[in-house]
Amino acid sequence: MDKPGAAAQYVIAPAEILAAAPKSVPLADAAALPLVGLTAYQALFDHAKLTAGQRVLVNGAGGAVGGYAVQLAKNAGAYVIATAGPRSSQQVKTAGADEIIDHSTTEVTAAVTEPVDVVLNLAPVDPAQSWPRCPP
């Protein structure tokens, strides 16, 4: 315990909550996947109950959680509207978004003209001000 690192080899955990690290992904990336991936999954499906055919707006889709949220929502059969600035636009497109709104040039609430079933706000904006019609 005198070297840098997490000393994960000494952690005790129930076997059923462990999964083998994928071989096709660098270990550091694989270690980060559960936190961001589960955050996206739980927000979309446990909390928002997103289902196939629904429309979801992912605000802040260019970030860590957003990349997973877009892919998971698309995989579930939802129609995904995503916001992304110039630096993350291509990545969000590759993730599978149906529509991309550039939040750096466009007022997002004005650009989304049709109702959405779910708003997943991952951006550092005040939801009460940005999404006044959403329940808390």
Ligand X SMILES: NC(=O)c1ccc[n+]([C@@H]2O[C@H](COP(=O)([O-])OP(=O)(O)OC[C@H]3O[C@@H](n4cnc5c(N)ncnc54)[C@H](OP(=O)(O)O)[C@@H]3O)[C@@H](O)[C@H]2O)c1
Would you tell me which residues interact with ligand X (CB under 6 A)? 35-36, 39, 59-60, 62-66, 83-85, 87-88, 103, 122-125
CB-nearer residue toward ligand X: 16 or 126: 126
Structure token pair of residue 55: 């429309």
Is the C-alpha dihedral spanning 57, 70, 40, 45 positive or negative? positive
**Shortest separation between residue 44's beta carbon and ligand X, angstroms:** 12
The C-alpha atoms of residue 136 and residue 129 are separated, in whole angstroms, by 12
CB-nearer residue toward ligand X: 41 or 117: 41
**Shortest separation between residue 45's beta carbon and ligand X, angstroms:** 15
CB-nearer residue toward ligand X: 39 or 71: 39
**Shortest separation between residue 129's beta carbon and ligand X, angstroms:** 11
The C-alpha atoms of residue 36 and residue 39 are separated, in whole angstroms, by 5
CB atoms within 10 A of CB 30: 15
**Shortest separation between residue 80's beta carbon and ligand X, angstroms:** 15
CB-nearer residue toward ligand X: 81 or 122: 122
For residues 33 and 25, the answer to whether their CB atoms sit within 8 Å is yes
For residues 62 and 89, the answer to whether their CB atoms sit within 8 Å is yes
